[in-house]
C-alpha cells in the first residue's frame, strides 16, 4: 500500500516519522501543562562531558586551539577609553575535520545513529552542519543525505550554500538541493520515511551535548593561559544550539561568573521564506532571521522539544551589520594571519566592541571560527551582492540596510553593536506558552519551568503573567 | 546522445506545484513550484532536456529532467573588493601609530 505523499498528509505523519528517525520518546519528559523535564532529558538522552570527549576523540573532533588576538586587542584599546580593552581570545574551531564547531554536534549524532543500528543519517541544513554530518558518516561507515535550501526560483544559488553542497559531495554524501521554502521539512520527512535513515537533527539532546566540550575546553584553556576564568564568552546565535551547548559546557567547568553574550547578523526587514529576499543577504546563518524566532519560541523545530533553549542561558543579545563582519574578517586575516570564513566571525565583530566596554585585565572569548573558501570568502559574497543589485560601499555602518546596502566601516572605531531587548523576547515566549491555558490550571512546575527557561525567577514570571492577563 | 549510461549528471524535478505548497508563504514564493536539483549517475544514455533516471550517491533511484552533464562547480572567489583591500594597510598604520 503506497503512502499519501501530499504535503498535508506527510505533515500529519510528522510525529511518527520523527519518533522513528530520532529514537526518542519525548512524551516521557512532559510533566505538566507547559513544562517538561529539560535537565532530565539532557541527562537521560544526552552524554556526559567525559563520554562526549571519548566519542569526539575517536573521530578527531575538538581540542582546538585558543588563540590570543593581540593586535585586535590593541586596536580595541586604541578605540576604547583609557584602562579599557579586554584581552580577546578566539577558539579556532575551523580546525575540526570539516571546518567548524558543527563537527562536535555531528560527532555525537552520528555516533548515536551507528549505536542504534541505522544504515544512514540525514541532515536538513544549508549550513556547515551538513558537511560535519557527512564527514562523521564517512568515518563511521554510514550513508548520508544532506537536504539544503540553495536556489531562488531563477535557479541562482547562494554561493556559500553551493560551497557547502560541494563539500558534502566531496565527503561522499548525497545532496538534495531545493528552491526557497519551509517545505524543506516536508521533503526531509519524505526522505526519512523512504530511507529509514536517522534524522541528525540539530535540536536533539545529543547534538547539544556535543557542543558542551567546546565550552568546557575553553574555560580550561583560559585558566591555563591566564590563571583566571573568562569574564565573557561571545557566541553566534541562530537556532540556539551554539549558545546552549557552550554555556552548559562553561558552567560544567565551574566558571560561574562568565557572561554569555549571543550575537546575530542584523537582517531585519528580510523575509526568510521570500523568493525575492533569499539571495539579498550575504549571511545564510547566524542572523536575526533565525536568532529572534528561535529565542522566543524554541519548540518550533523538527522534534517535539528543542534541546537548544537560548533564553535559558543568554545574559545579553546583540546584533552587528554585514559590513562590520566583513571588515573584521579582513582584520583577522591581515592583522592576525588567520583567514577564516565571515559567518564564523560574527561574534568576533561583537567581541571587538564588547572588549572596549570591559577592563583591560578582563578576558573575552570568541568561541568559534569556520573554514573559508570559494563561495564563502568576503570577495565571493560581496561580488554576489553587487550582482544582485546590492550597493557595497565604505561609510558609517549605521547606514547599512539589509537587502540593499552593505557598508564597510571607514574607521575601526565605527564598529558597533545594537542590543536586542531580551526582556521582550522572554515576554513573547511566556505569552506564547500560556496562550492555550487558563492561568488557574498552571502548576508550580509550570512556573518553575518558565523561570528557568527565561533565566529569571518565579516572581518575574508571575508579574509578567499578571500583566499579560491585564 | 549528450550523456552515456553511467555519466555523472544533474537533474531537476518539481516536488510541489504552487497550488500544493504550504499555505503560509509570501506571495512571491507561493507562485513558484518547489524544485529540486540532484546529481547522480545516468541509468541510460540520454540528451539534455530528456526525462531520465539516476542513481544517487546513496544508491537511490530518482527521476527528473536532465539539465547538466558533468556539472561544473560555478561558485568562486569573485572579484577583489576594493573597499576591503585597503583594510589591512590602514589598520597596520593605526596599530603602528602612524595615523590616529
Q: CB within 8 A of A169, min separation 6: which ones?
A: A175, B39, B57
pLDDT at A438 over 80: no
Query: Is the interface score ipTM higher than 0.85?
Result: yes
Asked if A452 and A312 touch (Cβ cutoff 8 Å), the reply is yes
**pLDDT of the residue at B99:** 65
Percent of chain A with pLDDT over 90: 93
Contacts of A375 in chain B (CB under 8 A): 75-76
Give the range among A383-392, A457-466, B8-17 with minimum mean pLDDT. Answer: A457-466
| pLDDT tens track for B7-56 | 999 999 999 999 999 888 999 999 999 999 999 999 999 999 999 999 99
Q: Does the beta-carbon distance from B74 to A162 stay under 8 Å?
A: yes
Q: CB within 8 A of A175, min separation 6: which ones?
A: A130, A145, A146, A148, A165, A168, A169, B38, B39
Contacts of B80 in chain A (CB under 8 A): 379
- Other CB atoms closer than 10 Å to residue A432's CB: what's the count? 14
Partner residue opposite B58 with nearest CB, options A174, A327, A377: A174
Residues of B with a Cβ under 8 Å from any A Cβ are 15-16, 20-22, 24-26, 28-29, 32-40, 56-60, 73-81, 83-84, 87-88, 91-92, 94-95
Q: Does the beta-carbon distance from A384 to B28 stay under 8 Å?
A: no
Instruction: Mark out the alpha helices in A287-336 (DSSP H runs).
Output: 288-296, 322-336
Q: What is the pTM of this model?
A: 0.97
pLDDT at A1 over 60: no
Asked if A363 and A86 touch (Cβ cutoff 8 Å), the reply is yes
Q: Which helix (H) or strand (E) holds A143?
A: strand A143-151
Give the range among A24-33, A115-124, A229-238, A331-340 with minimum mean pLDDT. Answer: A24-33
Residue A410 DSSP label: S
Contacts of B81 in chain A (CB under 8 A): 378-379, 382-383, 392
Instruction: Mark out the alpha helices in A171-321 (DSSP H runs).
Output: 184-195, 205-226, 241-252, 288-296
Partner residue opposite B22 with nearest CB, options A144, A173, A183: A183
Partner residue opposite B29 with nearest CB, options A195, A273, A333: A273
**pLDDT of the residue at B100:** 58
Contacts of A120 in chain B (CB under 8 A): 58
Chain B residue with minimum CA distance to A197: B58
Query: What mean pLDDT is predicted for residues B53-64?
Result: 98
Contacts of B41 in chain A (CB under 8 A): none
B63 DSSP β-pair partners: B53
Query: What mean pLDDT is predicted for residues A464-469?
Result: 84
Residues 310-349, chain A: which have Cβ within 8 Å of B? 326-327, 330-331, 333-335
Residues present in chain B in total: 100
| pLDDT tens track for A168-215 | 999 999 999 999 999 999 999 999 999 999 999 999 999 999 999 999
Amino acid at each position: 500500500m503506497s503512502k499519501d505523499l501530499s504535503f498535508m498528509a506527510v505533515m500529519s505523519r510528522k510525529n511518527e516519522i520523527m519518533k522513528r528517525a530520532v529514537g526518542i520518546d519525548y512524551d516521557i519528559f512532559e510533566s505538566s501543562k507547559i513544562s517538561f523535564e529539560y535537565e532530565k532529558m539532557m541527562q537521560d538522552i544526552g552524554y556526559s562531558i567525559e563520554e562526549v570527549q571519548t566519542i569526539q576523540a575517536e573521530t578527531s573532533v575538538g581540542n582546538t586551539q585558543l588563540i590570543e588576538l593581540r593586535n585586535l586587542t590593541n586596536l580595541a584599546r586604541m578605540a576604547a577609553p583609557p584602562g579599557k580593552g579586554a584581552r580577546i581570545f578566539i577558539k579556532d574551531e575551523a580546525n575540526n575535520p570539516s571546518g567548524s564547531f558543527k563537527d562536535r554536534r555531528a560527532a555525537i549524532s552520528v555516533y548515536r545513529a551507528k549505536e542504534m543500528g541505522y544504515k544512514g543519517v540525514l541532515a536538513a541544513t544549508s549550513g556547515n552542519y551538513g558537511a560535519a554530518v557527512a564527514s562523521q558518516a564517512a568515518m563511521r561507515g554510514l550513508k548520508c543525505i544532506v537536504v539544503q535550501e540553495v536556489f531562488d526560483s531563477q535557479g541562482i544559488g547562494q554561493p556559500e550554500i553551493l560551497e557547502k553542497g560541494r563539500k558534502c559531495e566531496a565527503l561522499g554524501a548525497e545532496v538534495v538541493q531545493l528552491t526557497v521554502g519551509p517545505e524543506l521539512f516536508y521533503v526531509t520527512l519524505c526522505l526519512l520515511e523512504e530511507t529509514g535513515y536517522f534524522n541528525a537533527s540539530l535540536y536533539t539532546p545529543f547534538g547539544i551535548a556535543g557542543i558542551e566540550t567546546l565550552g568546557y575546553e575553553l574555560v580550561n584553556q583560559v585558566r591555563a593561559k591566564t590563571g583566571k576564568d573568562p569574564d565573557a564568552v561571545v557566541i553566534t546565535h541562530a537556532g540556539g544550539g551554539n549558545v546552549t551547548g557552550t554555556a552548559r559546557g562553561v558552567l560544567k567547568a565551574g566558571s560561574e561568573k562568565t557572561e554569555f553574550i549571543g550575537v546575530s547578523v542584523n537582517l531585519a526587514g528580510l523575509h526568510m521564506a521570500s523568493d525575492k529576499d533569499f539571495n539579498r543577504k550575504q549571511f545564510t546563518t547566524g542572523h536575526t532571521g533565525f536568532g529572534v524566532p528561535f529565542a522566543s519560541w524554541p519548540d518550533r523545530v523538527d522534534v517535539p522539544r528543542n534541546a537548544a533553549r537560548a533564553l535559558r542561558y543568554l545574559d545579553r543579545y546583540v546584533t552587528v551589520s554585514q559590513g562590520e563582519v566583513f571588515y573584521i574578517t579582513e582584520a583577522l586575516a591581515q592583522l592576525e594571519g588567520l583567514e577564516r570564513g565571515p559567518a564564523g566571525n560574527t561574534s568576533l565583530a561583537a567581541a571587538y566592541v564588547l572588549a572596549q566596554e570591559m577592563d583591560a585585565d578582563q578576558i573575552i572569548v570568541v568561541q568559534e571560527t569556520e573554514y573559508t573558501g570559494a563561495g564563502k570568502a568576503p570577495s565571493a559574497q560581496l561580488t554576489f551582492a553587487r550582482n544582485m543589485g546590492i550597493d557595497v560601499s565604505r561609510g558609517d555602518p549605521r547606514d547599512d540596510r539589509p537587502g540593499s546596502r552593505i557598508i564597510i566601516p571607514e574607521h575601526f572605531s565605527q564598529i558597533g553593536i545594537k542590543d536586542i531587548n531580551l526582556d521582550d523576547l522572554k515576554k513573547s515566549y511566556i505569552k506564547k506558552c500560556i496562550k492555550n491555558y487558563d492561568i488557574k490550571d498552571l502548576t508550580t512546575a509550570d512556573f518553575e519551568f518558565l523561570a528557568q527557561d527565561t533565566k529569571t525567577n518565579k516572581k518575574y514570571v508571575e508579574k509578567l503573567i499578571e500583566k499579560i492577563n491585564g | 546522445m549528450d550523456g552515456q549510461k553511467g555519466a555523472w549528471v544533474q537533474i531537476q524535478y518539481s516536488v510541489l506545484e504552487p497550488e500544493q505548497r504550504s499555505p503560509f508563504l509570501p506571495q512571491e514564493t507561493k507562485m513558484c513550484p518547489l524544485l529540486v536539483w540532484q546529481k547522480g549517475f545516468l541509468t541510460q544514455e540520454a540528451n539534455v532536456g530528456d526525462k531520465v533516471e539516476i542513481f544517487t550517491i546513496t544508491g537511490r533511484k530518482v527521476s527528473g529532467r536532465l539539465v547538466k552533464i558533468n556539472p561544473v562547480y560555478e561558485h568562486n572567489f569573485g572579484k577583489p573588493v576594493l573597499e576591503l583591500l585597503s583594510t589591512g594597510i590602514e589598520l597596520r598604520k593605526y596599530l603602528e601609530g602612524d595615523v590616529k
